[in-house]
Protein backbone atom coordinates (compact mmCIF):
# COMPACT_ATOMS: atom_id res chain seq x y z
CA UNK A 1 0.00 0.00 0.00
CA UNK A 2 1.43 3.26 -1.10
CA UNK A 3 1.54 6.55 0.70
CA UNK A 4 -1.22 8.02 -1.37
CA UNK A 5 -3.44 5.01 -0.82
CA UNK A 6 -3.09 5.35 2.97
CA UNK A 7 -3.86 9.06 2.85
CA UNK A 8 -6.82 8.42 0.55
CA UNK A 9 -8.13 5.71 2.89
CA UNK A 10 -7.71 8.03 5.92
CA UNK A 11 -9.52 10.89 4.12
CA UNK A 12 -12.30 8.57 2.99
CA UNK A 13 -12.84 7.07 6.43
CA UNK A 14 -12.59 10.41 8.23
CA UNK A 15 -14.79 12.17 5.63
CA UNK A 16 -17.41 9.43 5.82
CA UNK A 17 -17.51 9.67 9.62
CA UNK A 18 -17.96 13.43 9.43
CA UNK A 19 -20.75 13.09 6.88
CA UNK A 20 -22.46 10.37 8.92
CA UNK A 21 -22.10 12.53 12.04
CA UNK A 22 -23.73 15.45 10.20
CA UNK A 23 -26.52 13.21 8.93
CA UNK A 24 -27.06 11.81 12.42
CA UNK A 25 -27.19 15.31 13.90
CA UNK A 26 -29.68 16.36 11.21
CA UNK A 27 -31.81 13.26 11.90
CA UNK A 28 -31.82 14.06 15.65
CA UNK A 29 -32.95 17.64 14.93
CA UNK A 30 -35.70 16.32 12.66
CA UNK A 31 -36.80 13.85 15.35
CA UNK A 32 -37.00 16.59 18.00
CA UNK A 33 -38.94 18.83 15.62
CA UNK A 34 -41.33 16.01 14.78
CA UNK A 35 -41.85 15.15 18.46
CA UNK A 36 -42.66 18.81 19.13
CA UNK A 37 -45.12 18.78 16.20
CA UNK A 38 -46.76 15.58 17.49
CA UNK A 39 -47.14 17.19 20.91
CA UNK A 40 -48.71 20.33 19.39
CA UNK A 41 -51.08 18.26 17.24
CA UNK A 42 -52.14 16.11 20.22
CA UNK A 43 -52.92 19.28 22.19
CA UNK A 44 -54.90 20.72 19.26
CA UNK A 45 -56.70 17.38 18.81
CA UNK A 46 -57.71 17.42 22.49
CA UNK A 47 -59.06 20.96 22.17
CA UNK A 48 -61.03 20.01 19.03
CA UNK A 49 -62.51 16.95 20.76
CA UNK A 50 -63.62 19.11 23.68
CA UNK A 51 -65.14 21.66 21.28
CA UNK A 52 -66.89 18.87 19.35
CA UNK A 53 -68.35 17.53 22.60
CA UNK A 54 -69.67 21.00 23.50
CA UNK A 55 -71.16 21.34 20.01
CA UNK A 56 -72.88 17.96 20.38
CA UNK A 57 -74.36 19.05 23.71
CA UNK A 58 -75.51 22.37 22.20
CA UNK A 59 -77.02 20.53 19.21
CA UNK A 60 -78.90 18.13 21.48
CA UNK A 61 -80.19 21.02 23.57
CA UNK A 62 -81.30 22.89 20.42
CA UNK A 63 -83.04 19.75 19.10
CA UNK A 64 -84.96 19.37 22.36
CA UNK A 65 -85.96 23.05 22.28
CA UNK A 66 -87.07 22.71 18.64
CA UNK A 67 -89.19 19.67 19.44
CA UNK A 68 -90.74 21.46 22.41
CA UNK A 69 -91.58 24.51 20.28
CA UNK A 70 -92.94 22.37 17.44
CA UNK A 71 -95.21 20.54 19.84
CA UNK A 72 -96.26 23.82 21.49
CA UNK A 73 -97.15 25.42 18.14
CA UNK A 74 -98.56 22.33 16.48
CA UNK A 75 -101.46 22.98 14.12
CA UNK A 76 -104.07 20.94 12.34
CA UNK A 77 -104.12 21.63 8.60
CA UNK A 78 -106.98 20.85 6.19
CA UNK A 79 -107.20 21.74 2.50
CA UNK A 80 -110.72 22.77 1.45
CA UNK A 81 -111.94 24.88 -1.49
CA UNK A 82 -108.36 25.47 -2.71
CA UNK A 83 -107.43 26.96 0.67
CA UNK A 84 -105.45 25.80 3.63
CA UNK A 85 -107.34 25.96 6.90
CA UNK A 86 -105.34 25.85 10.11
CA UNK A 87 -106.35 25.44 13.73
CA UNK A 88 -103.96 25.77 16.63
CA UNK A 89 -102.39 28.12 19.15
CA UNK A 90 -101.81 31.04 16.76
CA UNK A 91 -105.43 30.90 15.51
CA UNK A 92 -106.82 30.64 19.05
CA UNK A 93 -107.91 27.09 18.24
CA UNK A 94 -110.35 28.27 15.53
CA UNK A 95 -110.26 27.29 11.85
CA UNK A 96 -108.71 30.15 9.86
CA UNK A 97 -107.95 30.40 6.12
CA UNK A 98 -104.32 30.42 4.97
CA UNK A 99 -102.69 30.72 1.58
CA UNK A 100 -101.80 27.30 0.14
CA UNK A 101 -98.92 28.90 -1.75
CA UNK A 102 -96.99 30.83 0.94
CA UNK A 103 -98.90 29.68 4.09
CA UNK A 104 -99.60 33.25 5.23
CA UNK A 105 -103.04 34.16 6.62
CA UNK A 106 -105.59 34.78 3.86
CA UNK A 107 -108.65 37.02 3.90
CA UNK A 108 -112.02 36.12 2.47
CA UNK A 109 -114.12 38.81 0.87
CA UNK A 110 -117.83 38.72 1.66
CA UNK A 111 -119.19 39.73 -1.71
CA UNK A 112 -121.52 38.31 -4.34
CA UNK A 113 -118.69 36.03 -5.49
CA UNK A 114 -116.53 35.44 -2.40
CA UNK A 115 -112.83 34.96 -2.91
CA UNK A 116 -109.84 34.27 -0.73
CA UNK A 117 -106.95 36.67 -1.10
CA UNK A 118 -103.41 36.45 0.25
CA UNK A 119 -101.84 39.90 0.71
CA UNK A 120 -98.37 38.35 1.06
CA UNK A 121 -98.18 36.75 -2.40
CA UNK A 122 -101.34 38.00 -4.19
CA UNK A 123 -102.86 34.52 -4.42
CA UNK A 124 -106.59 34.55 -5.23
CA UNK A 125 -109.00 31.61 -4.92
CA UNK A 126 -112.60 31.98 -6.04
CA UNK A 127 -114.84 30.20 -3.55
CA UNK A 128 -118.26 30.43 -5.18
CA UNK A 129 -118.72 27.46 -7.44
CA UNK A 130 -122.39 27.81 -8.23
CA UNK A 131 -123.55 28.20 -4.62
CA UNK A 132 -123.33 30.80 -1.92
CA UNK A 133 -120.04 29.75 -0.31
CA UNK A 134 -119.09 31.75 2.77
CA UNK A 135 -116.38 31.32 5.34
CA UNK A 136 -118.92 30.13 7.88
CA UNK A 137 -120.21 27.43 5.53
CA UNK A 138 -116.69 26.25 4.75
CA UNK A 139 -115.73 26.13 8.44
CA UNK A 140 -118.86 24.09 9.22
CA UNK A 141 -117.65 21.49 6.70
CA UNK A 142 -114.28 21.16 8.45
CA UNK A 143 -113.63 18.56 11.19
CA UNK A 144 -114.90 19.61 14.64
Taking a C-beta distance cutoff of 8 angstroms, is the pair 91, 110 a contact? no
Q: Give pLDDT tens digits for 38-82.
A: 999 999 999 999 999 999 999 999 999 999 998 888 888 888 777
Q: Phi, psi at residue 103, to the nearest 5°?
A: 65, 20
Contacts of 90 (CB under 8 A, 6+ apart): 73, 75
Taking a C-beta distance cutoff of 8 angstroms, is the pair 82, 98 a contact? no
Q: How confident is the model at residue 134 (pLDDT cuts 50, 70, 90)?
A: low
Q: How far is CA 103 from CA 51, 69, 73, in A?
A: 39, 19, 15
Q: Give pLDDT tens digits for 4-21.
A: 576 677 666 666 666 777
Amino acid sequence: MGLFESIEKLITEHGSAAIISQQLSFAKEQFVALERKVSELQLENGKLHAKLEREHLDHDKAQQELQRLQKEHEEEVVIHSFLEFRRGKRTQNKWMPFCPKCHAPATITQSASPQAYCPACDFVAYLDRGGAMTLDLIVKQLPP
